[in-house]
Amino acid sequence: MRKNTTKELILAALFIALGLILPMVFHAIGAGPVFLPMHIPVLLAGFFLSVPYAALVGALTPILSSVLTGMPPMFPVLPFMVFELLTYGAVVSYIHNKVKANIFVSLIVAMIAGRIVSAIVVWVLASFFMAKLPAPTVFITGAIVKGIPGIIIQLIFIPAIVYILNKQKRLEI
């Protein structure tokens, strides 16, 4: 196994572990849906991992969290959260590491792409499986409005964390 592959695998496991621990802390004080704690490690993973590994972190984190802690609920939240976070990880990694866009552009594009993908999954679930879910526009509006504090935290702290870790060369692949 190549050194970079081993390091990426270890970092992916670290980000998944953070994605399991942070929501437990935030949900213990009732702030999970507002501060979006599972999103933070996935978005961070995108800055330090290749697209496949970052996407894997995004997909596995909510699945493992749901199985181990019951958060997010298996249905209806888990399906769209898996695709949303998978998109976050993949898009941040691609835009930041391949396109070489700055941190803020990478974050904002990933957040928009993730919300769009999430809305599509909500629409598919509602349309094809007759799930009782809100319309995608209502869903996106609600997710954004309720998650504004989390989005602000992400836009402030994630660039700072990435900057500090890059400056110290702690997580280079």
Q: Read off the pLDDT of residues 48-74 as tens digits, 9 standing for 90 and up.
A: 999 999 999 999 999 999 999 999 999
**pLDDT, tens digit, for every residue of 73-128?**
998 889 999 999 999 999 999 999 999 999 999 999 999 999 999 988 988 887 87
pLDDT, averaged across the chain: 90
pLDDT-derived band at 169, boundaries 50, 70, 90: confident
pLDDT-derived band at 12, boundaries 50, 70, 90: very high
The alpha-carbon radius of gyration of the chain (Å, integer) is: 16
State the burial class of residue 161 (Cβ atoms within 10 Å of its Cβ: 0-12, 13-18, 19+): middle
Range of the domain at 149: 5-172
State the pLDDT at residue 99: 97
Look at residue 13 and tell me whether its pLDDT is greater than 90: yes
Taking the C-alpha atoms of residue 121 and residue 34, their distance in angstroms, rounded to an integer, is 21
Structural domains in the chain (count): 1
Taking the C-alpha atoms of residue 164 and residue 173, their distance in angstroms, rounded to an integer, is 16
Residue 33's domain is classified under what CATH number?
1.10.1760.20
Amino acid at 65: S
Look at residue 2 and tell me whether its pLDDT is greater than 60: no
State the pLDDT at residue 128: 79
Taking the C-alpha atoms of residue 35 and residue 146, their distance in angstroms, rounded to an integer, is 9
pLDDT-derived band at 146, boundaries 50, 70, 90: confident
